[in-house]
A and B are shown apart, each in its own frame.
Chain A
Amino acid sequence: MGLKSFCFKKSLWVFHFAGASCNNCDIEILDCLTPRFDIERFGMQLVGSPRHADVLLVNGSINRKDKTRLLDVYRQTSKPVLVVAIGACGCTGGIFKEGYTNAGPVDAIIPVDAYIPGCPPKPEAIIAGLVKLIGKEDNHTTSIKQEKELIHADS
C-alpha cells in the first residue's frame, strides 16, 4: 500500500448529497458526527464544497430534476472520488422505483463504490459500510479516465 492510498484512506472528506429523500437517511448520516459515533476519529470530515470532497454520500430516490444536479455535483468533485449510495432509495429506488418521476437508482447515473442498504440504515451500518469502503479503496470501480469519459458521454 503506497503513501498515496494510505493517506487517502486516512482522511476521507465527505460531501453529502441529499436527493428527494424523506430525510431519515440525512438524520442518520448526521448521527455519525455526534459524540456517540464520531467518524472524525477515522479522519472523516463533512465538507461544504464538492471541490474538497473525497466521498460523495448520496441518499434518497433520484428523480429527474435531481439527476442533473447529481451529475453536476459529480463533475465538480476533484477526482479520485468515491460514491456511496445510502438507504433503500439510493441503492435500488426503494418504494419510488416504479414512480413516474424516478430517474433510477444512483448507480444508473454515476458509478457507485459502496452500497449501504436500510430504511434508514443505522449509524452503525453506515460506519460499517465506510470501513468496508476503506478496505476496498485500492480497486476503484472506474479509473479517473473512465469516469471522465462516462461523464462526457452522458452530457
Chain B
Amino acid sequence: MLREIFYFVIFPGLIFSAFIGGILSWFDRKITARVQFRKGPPILQPFYDFVKLLYKETILPAHGSKLTFLLAPIFGLFGVTIASVFILLPLFGIDTGFKGDIIVIFYLLTIPTLTYMIGAMASGNPLAAVGASREMKLIISYELSFLLVVVAVIFRSGMKLSMYEILEYQAANGAIIGSLSGVLVFIVALFCLQAKLGLVPFDMSEAETEITHGIFIEYSGSIYAIIKLTKYMMLFILPAFVIAILMGGFNFEGINILWSVLKVFGVVLLLTLIRNTNPRLKIHHAMKFFLVWMNVLVILAIILMNFNL
C-alpha cells in the first residue's frame, strides 16, 4: 500500500514528472527564444510561474457553474498523474503486471483535454466556449490517428497489449522506429502530440492573439497553477509514451543513460521546432490534416508492416 502511494505521489508520479516537465517546459521556452535570437528565461522559470500562481487570487465566474469550474482541472491532474505512473513504471523497468495497460493509457491521456473543455464550458465565457468547441473538433480529428498509431504498435509487436511486453519486444528485436513503417508511425505520433499538447500549428483552442487564451481565459490564481502543472506533466509523459512505444524506451546501463535523456530532449526539440516554424492553422485545415493525411500515412504504415518493411 505504501509502495503504491510512493509510486503515485513521489517517484514516477506527481512530483517527479512535474519536476522533469518543468525542466522540459523551460527547455521549450529557451529553444523558442534562441530560434527568435532572444536570450530566454532562467532555468527555474516554470517553477517561479507555478509558485506565483499559487499565491494569487482565484476569481470564480459569476455566471457559470463554480463547482465544475474548480473541479475540472483537479480531475485533469488526477488523470495525468495516473497516466504518468502507468507510462513511467514500465519505462523504468518495473513490471506493473497489468495486461492491456496501453489501452487504458490511451484513454487516460485524453482526460486532461476533456477536463479543460468541461472547465471552459462551465466558466460561462463566450471566448472560452469558442475555444472549447475548437478543442472538441480537434479531439475528434486527432484521436483516430493516435489510436491507429497505438494499433500499429500493437500489430508490429505481435499483438501485445502491455507496455512492458512491447518494451521487451523492442529490446529483443530493435526499436520499432528502425524500419520504414516505424518512421511513418513516428511522424504521425509527433503531430498527434503537437495537437494533444496544444502547441502552435494546432493551438487554435487557446489562440492567444484571437480569443485570448480561449479555454483558459477565466482561470486565475491557484486553479490556473494546477492547469500549468498538468501542462508541464503532459509535456514530459507524452514524449515518454512515444519513446516507450516507438523508440525502445529507456536504458540505464552506463552510457545508455545519456541516450535515454537525449531521446526525451530530442522529441521535445522536434515539437518545439515544429511549433516555431509554423503559423496557426484554421480548425477545418487541422481536421482535414488529421482525418485525411495522417490517417492515410498510418494506414500505409500498417500495410507496410504486413510486408515486414
A96 in contact (CB, < 8 A): no
Q: Does the CB pair B37–A35 fall under 8 Å?
A: yes
Q: Cβ of B260: which chain A residues have Cβ within 8 Å of it?
A: none
Which A residues, 2 to 35, have Cβ-Cβ distances below 8 Å to chain B? 3-4, 7-8, 10-11, 35
Size bin of chain B's contact surface: 20 to 34
- Whether A49 touches B52, Cβ cut-off 8 Å, given contacts A79-B57, A144-B57, is no
Closest to B38 in A: A38
Q: Does the CB pair B213–A43 fall under 8 Å?
A: no
Q: Cβ of A11: which chain B residues have Cβ within 8 Å of it?
A: 45, 48-49, 52
Q: Does the CB pair B52–A40 fall under 8 Å?
A: no
Question: Which of B45, B59, B217, B218 meets A43, CB within 8 Å?
Answer: B45
A48 in contact (CB, < 8 A): yes
B40 in contact (CB, < 8 A): yes
Number of residue pairs across A and B with beta carbons under 8 Å? Answer: 79
With A and B bound together, what is the CA distance between A47 and B44 in angstroms? 20
Closest to B36 in A: A35
Q: Does the CB pair A51–B219 fall under 8 Å?
A: yes
A67 in contact (CB, < 8 A): no
- Whether A4 touches B58, Cβ cut-off 8 Å, given contacts A49-B213, A51-B220, A52-B220, is no
With A and B bound together, what is the CA distance between A3 and B217 in angstroms? 26
Which A residues, 93 to 138, have Cβ-Cβ distances below 8 Å to chain B? none
A78 in contact (CB, < 8 A): yes
B39 in contact (CB, < 8 A): yes
**A118 CB, min distance to chain B CBs, angstroms:** 24
Q: Does the CB pair B209–A41 fall under 8 Å?
A: no
- Whether A43 touches B212, Cβ cut-off 8 Å, given contacts A38-B39, A51-B219, A52-B224, is no
B95 in contact (CB, < 8 A): no
**A146 CB, min distance to chain B CBs, angstroms:** 14
With A and B bound together, what is the CA distance between A11 and B25 in angstroms? 15
Which B residues, 186 to 209, have Cβ-Cβ distances below 8 Å to chain A? 208-209
With A and B bound together, what is the CA distance between A86 and B59 in angstroms? 27
Closest to B32 in A: A40
Closest to A10 in B: B48
With A and B bound together, what is the CA distance between A77 and B209 in angstroms? 18
Q: Does the CB pair B40–A4 fall under 8 Å?
A: no
Q: Does the CB pair A8–B55 fall under 8 Å?
A: yes
B178 in contact (CB, < 8 A): no
Q: Does the CB pair B221–A40 fall under 8 Å?
A: no
B126 in contact (CB, < 8 A): no
**B240 CB, min distance to chain A CBs, angstroms:** 26
Q: Cβ of A4: which chain B residues have Cβ within 8 Å of it?
A: 51, 55
Size bin of chain A's contact surface: 20 to 34
Q: Does the CB pair A7–B57 fall under 8 Å?
A: no
Which B residues, 27 to 62, have Cβ-Cβ distances below 8 Å to chain A? 29, 33, 36-42, 44-45, 47-49, 51-52, 55-59
Q: Mark B210-234, 1 if CB is under 8 A from A, else 0.
A: 0011001111110010000000000
Q: Cβ of B29: which chain A residues have Cβ within 8 Å of it?
A: 40
- Whether A43 touches B208, Cβ cut-off 8 Å, given contacts A38-B38, A78-B58, A78-B221, is no
Q: Cβ of B208: which chain A residues have Cβ within 8 Å of it?
A: 47-48
Q: Mark A69-86, 1 if CB is under 8 A from B, else 0.
A: 000000010111000000
**A123 CB, min distance to chain B CBs, angstroms:** 14
With A and B bound together, what is the CA distance between A94 and B208 in angstroms? 32
**B261 CB, min distance to chain A CBs, angstroms:** 25
With A and B bound together, what is the CA distance between A40 and B28 in angstroms? 13
**B184 CB, min distance to chain A CBs, angstroms:** 37
Question: Which of A3, A40, A76 meets B51, CB within 8 Å?
Answer: A3
With A and B bound together, what is the CA distance between A7 and B36 in angstroms? 26
Q: List 16 A-B contacts (CB under 8 A).
A: A4-B55, A7-B47, A11-B52, A35-B36, A35-B38, A40-B40, A43-B41, A48-B208, A48-B212, A49-B212, A51-B217, A51-B224, A52-B213, A78-B221, A79-B57, A80-B57
Chain A interface residues (CB < 8 Å from chain B): 3-4, 7-8, 10-11, 35, 38, 40-41, 43, 47-49, 51-52, 54, 76, 78-80, 144
Chain B interface residues (CB < 8 Å from chain A): 29, 33, 36-42, 44-45, 47-49, 51-52, 55-59, 208-209, 212-213, 216-221, 224
The 5 A-B pairs of least Cβ separation, nearest first, read A48-B212, A78-B220, A51-B220, A7-B51, A10-B48
